[in-house]
Amino acid sequence: MKAHIVGGGFGGLAAAVHLIRNAGVSGEDITIYEANERLGGAFSLGGSAQSGYILPTSSIFDAQFRCTFDLLETIPSATDPALSVKDEFFAFNARHPYHDRAHIIDRSGHIVHGAHFGLSVRDRLDLVRLVLTPEAMLDGRRIEEFFSPHFFSTEFWLLWATTMGSLPQHSAMELRRYMNRFLYLFPDLSDMSHVLRTPLNQYQAFIEPMVVWLRPRGVHFLTSAFVLDMGFAPSPGRITVNRLDCERDGAVTSIAVAPEDLVLVTLGSQADDLSVGSMNEAPRPRRNGQSWALWKRLAQGRTVFGNPDVFFGAARVPDSHWVTFTVTTTGTQFLDRMCALTGSEPGSGGLVTLKDSGWLLSLSIFHQPEIIGQPRGTSIWWGYGLYPERKGDFVPKRMDQCTGAEILEEVLRQLRFDGQLDAIMASSICVPCDLPYANNIWVKRSRTDRPRPVPEGASNLGLIGQYVEVPRDIAFTIEYSARAAWEAIHLLLKRGPPPPPVYQGLYDPKALFAALKVFAGTR
Ligand SMILES: Cc1cc2nc3c(=O)[nH]c(=O)nc-3n(C[C@H](O)[C@H](O)[C@H](O)COP(=O)(O)OP(=O)(O)OC[C@H]3O[C@@H](n4cnc5c(N)ncnc54)[C@H](O)[C@@H]3O)c2cc1C
């Protein structure tokens, strides 16, 4: 049996580890096809200390990433191979827990934090109503249909939206899932004390160690290999892949697939059409849709493959667009001022949201070093704008049209660091990263828009990644991709245990009690 995995992001790599470890497949029988030059998908690391590092994604995890940590328990860490990636992750978080004292800051530099997060009685009842509404009744419904305008002005919503990515026009179904999944975080939303992060950037913390584990086991990695299409055996009612068409170095090769082989396809990427700018150049928008092209082809005339147009395409961009930016600095002024403002040392402060900024900026000051090989005296911090199509307040341009220097200037002026502006600008390189689909897993959807990990009738085809339907779980996470891969492999090969159940706060008495205190307004 051969296994063909389309997509070399976290999900594809997780599938390969799972096949070897849980399903007894030989690494030499596994091939991973990745369209990009490098493995890792959205979890990438680019640039350098000289040109400015590029880290497109954030670092928000929790202890209930059950499939992920099951997998990472097997993988030795990059910095200390005596430890697993999982053990290193938890040890780091125990040593350096988040204690965010200044999650939301207003334009005057004041910390915003009030009683029960500003929720009115009606807001709290509306939240309960949404959580208790069955998912079957939430097809195509938006969050804003369930709440009054007041709810969207509360501290609760601001914390939620900037930590998780939700907007009022997004999916009520996904918010309901989030509420259930993260119910236990409610009381500590503002200090982020149960939120975990990687000891290093996610590429070096997760992706590289997985590749290092897979490579000596004989897994074939084909990078710059784009799977254009696949063929199916002519059998009515059955979906049996018999061919993959792969484009590499300008040539298209057809790969024969036997009925007993396995094909696992990643259906899309939140990092699709990612483009990077520089200190002096805004990112140039890219719109070629490579990561979902195969899904679009598969879905043509076949309803079991769902509806990719719900998540991708020009019409989706306004509801899913983010601009993130990474700042590499050799000065200390920025970090010193931030520590003074927030009362937190680098790495312990979580997110800092500048609530009055037009782009709705959030910043994260990493524990240093964030990157293996980062030179001494160099620090790295990160930020993103939830509304990159709006104009800045000091730089009157859309964020997605700004250079790194313009973004950095807007941040510094928002923070009222005008006195240090020249020094910080001179010692920093800010690299913006345009992500038109970063937030598309939140867009309003129906239950059939995402196909199942094994579509009806499929005998050797599994679908993985963030655009398949995995009941109860939330898609803006690597956990979702790890779970989808495990589920598809389990259903197709029937080897090993099924994935563990998704954590549900509603069935956790401690979480429920703590959340009820927030709802009841006693906290
Ligand atoms: C800004 C941002 C912040 C994030 N923050 C977090 C976070 O804090 N915590 C968290 O858990 N998750 C976070 N995520 C989500 C995380 O990045 C994803 O969960 C993870 O990358 C999903 O892995 P994947 O393999 O399913 O998809 P991806 O990582 O997107 O990889 C999919 C890969 O498949 C390839 N591919 C697709 N089609 C083909 C084809 N036909 N041929 C060949 N290759 C193909 C693509 O090129 C891509 O490399 C964030 C994402 C973004 C964008």
At 512 the pLDDT is 87
Share of the chain above pLDDT 90, in %: 90
- Between CA 156 and CA 190 the distance in angstroms is 8
Closest ligand 1 atom, residue 476 Cα:
15
Closest ligand 1 atom, residue 466 Cα:
26
CA of 391 relative to ligand 1 center, distance in Å: 28
467 lines ligand 1 (CB under 6 A): no
Closest ligand 1 atom, residue 294 Cα:
41
Is residue 254's pLDDT more than 90? yes
Mean pLDDT, range 141-164, rounded to an integer: 96
333-344 b/e (C-beta count within 10 Å ≥ 16 → b): bbbebbbebbeb
453 lines ligand 1 (CB under 6 A): no
Strands of 241-248's sheet in order across: 225-232, 241-248, 251-256
Q: Give 423's pLDDT tier (boundaries 50, 70, 90).
A: very high
CA of 439 relative to ligand 1 center, distance in Å: 12
Helices (H) and strands (E) in the chain, counts: 15, 17
Orientation angle between helical segments 509-520 and 121-132, nearest 10 degrees = 150
At 186 the pLDDT is 85
Mean pLDDT, range 341-363, rounded to an integer: 94
226 lines ligand 1 (CB under 6 A): yes
Report helix, strand or coil for 201.
Answer: coil
CA of 61 relative to ligand 1 center, distance in Å: 15
At 521 the pLDDT is 64
265 lines ligand 1 (CB under 6 A): no
CA of 36 relative to ligand 1 center, distance in Å: 12
Question: Please, what's the largest Cα pairwise distance for the chain?
Answer: 72
For 511, residues 6+ apart whose C-beta sits below 8 A from its C-beta are 183, 184, 505
At 415 the pLDDT is 96
The residue whose CA is least distant from atom 37 of ligand 1 is 291
58 lines ligand 1 (CB under 6 A): yes
CA of 68 relative to ligand 1 center, distance in Å: 14
Closest ligand 1 atom, residue 268 Cα:
37
CA of 322 relative to ligand 1 center, distance in Å: 15
Is residue 349's pLDDT more than 90? no
Tokens of 427: 């010692």
CA of 420 relative to ligand 1 center, distance in Å: 37
292 lines ligand 1 (CB under 6 A): no
411 lines ligand 1 (CB under 6 A): no
- Between CA 354 and CA 416 the distance in angstroms is 11
The residue whose CA is least distant from atom 50 of ligand 1 is 57
Mean pLDDT, range 374-391, rounded to an integer: 98
Report helix, strand or coil for 224.
Answer: coil
266 lines ligand 1 (CB under 6 A): yes
Closest ligand 1 atom, residue 475 Cα:
19
Q: Is 515 exposed, middle or buried (0-12, 13-18, 19+ CB in 10 A)?
A: buried
440 lines ligand 1 (CB under 6 A): no
Q: Give 236's pLDDT tier (boundaries 50, 70, 90).
A: confident
- Between CA 303 and CA 280 the distance in angstroms is 46
- Between CA 334 and CA 419 the distance in angstroms is 11
CA of 60 relative to ligand 1 center, distance in Å: 14
CA of 65 relative to ligand 1 center, distance in Å: 16
312 lines ligand 1 (CB under 6 A): no
270 lines ligand 1 (CB under 6 A): yes
**The residue to which tokens 């990159």 are assigned:** 388
Mean per-residue pLDDT of the chain = 96
pLDDT tens digits along 87-110: 999 999 999 999 888 999 998 989
Ligand 1 mutation target, pool 60, 223, 272, 476, most atoms within 8 A of CB: 476
**What is the SS3 string spanning 140-199?**
CCEHHHCCCHHHHHCHHHHHHHHHHCCCCCCEHHHHHHHHHHCHHHHHHCCCCCCCECCC
Q: CB of 143 within 8 A of CB of 444?
A: no
Orientation angle between helical segments 121-132 and 172-181, nearest 10 degrees = 100
CA of 434 relative to ligand 1 center, distance in Å: 15
pLDDT tens digits along 215-231: 999 999 999 999 999 99
The residue whose CA is least distant from atom 49 of ligand 1 is 41
Work out the number of other CB atoms within 10 angstroms of the CB of residue 129.
Answer: 11
- Between CA 512 and CA 523 the distance in angstroms is 14
Q: CB of 464 within 8 A of CB of 485?
A: yes
The residue whose CA is least distant from atom 35 of ligand 1 is 7
435 lines ligand 1 (CB under 6 A): yes
16 lines ligand 1 (CB under 6 A): no
Tokens of 72: 């990472």
Work out the number of other CB atoms within 10 angstroms of the CB of residue 309.
Answer: 13
Q: What is the torsional sign of CA 45, 46, 49, 55? A: negative
Partners of 40 in beta bridges: 9
Tokens of 225: 């290999």
For 223, residues 6+ apart whose C-beta sits below 8 A from its C-beta are 8, 34, 36, 37, 38, 39
pLDDT tens digits along 109-143: 899 988 789 999 999 999 999 999 999 999 999 99
Closest ligand 1 atom, residue 292 Cα:
38
- Between CA 14 and CA 499 the distance in angstroms is 13
The dihedral region occupied by 347, where left means phi > 0, alpha psi between -120 and 50, and beta the remainder, is left
Q: CB of 429 within 8 A of CB of 454?
A: no
For 301, residues 6+ apart whose C-beta sits below 8 A from its C-beta are none
Of 296-305, 341-350, 464-473, the poorest mean pLDDT is in 341-350
Q: Give 193's pLDDT tier (boundaries 50, 70, 90).
A: confident
Mean pLDDT, range 319-327, rounded to an integer: 98
59 lines ligand 1 (CB under 6 A): yes
At 513 the pLDDT is 87
CA of 226 relative to ligand 1 center, distance in Å: 16
Mean pLDDT, range 387-404, rounded to an integer: 98
